[in-house]
Amino acid sequence: MRLSHLQKFIILQCLESKTGRISRLRLNRFYETQKKKPKPEMVTKIITKSIERLIDKDMLVGFGERTKYKWFIKDIKLTRQGKKQAKMLLGEQLKIKFKKKK
């Protein structure tokens, strides 16, 4: 199953959490390390879409409020399948960032 870098980050952040449940606000840190940052108003939409796709794949459970038209996800938690995927990600070789010498 192919996952984006953001989705991998979300899964690994959930795995690192002691309680297993994390807040959405913690996921904004993903874009602090990126070279090309999207507009601030787009960050929320991008993170929401990634969370919703992981929920559709049965890797996450979302906690929040539901209105007549939309879900407002505040916290997320890994499912059993999500934990398996996270352990597989830990086994993969991750990108190493090297500093360029001038």
Residues in the chain: 102
Q: Residue 70 — very low, low, confident or very high, per pLDDT cuts 50/70/90?
A: confident
**pLDDT surpassing 80 at residue 97:** no
- For residue 80, the model assigns a pLDDT of 92
Does residue 46 have a pLDDT over 70? yes
Q: Which fold has domain 5-91?
A: Arc Repressor Mutant, subunit A (1.10.10)
Q: Is 60 helix (H, G, I), strand (E, B) or coil?
A: strand
Name residues whose C-beta falls within 8 Å of residue 7's C-beta, 6 or more positions apart in sequence. Answer: 50, 53, 54
* 30/37 Cα distance (integer angstroms): 10
Does 95 score more than 70 pLDDT? no
pTM: 0.81
Q: Give the CA distances from residue 67 to residues 23, 44, 63, 64, in Å, rounded to whole numbers and listed in that order.
A: 19, 18, 13, 10
Residue 67, helix vs strand vs coil: coil
Query: Per-residue pLDDT for 93 more than 70?
Result: no
Specify whether the CB–CB gap between 72 and 65 falls below 8 A.
yes
Give the pLDDT confidence of 4-25 residue by residue, as tens digits: 899 999 999 998 888 889 998 8
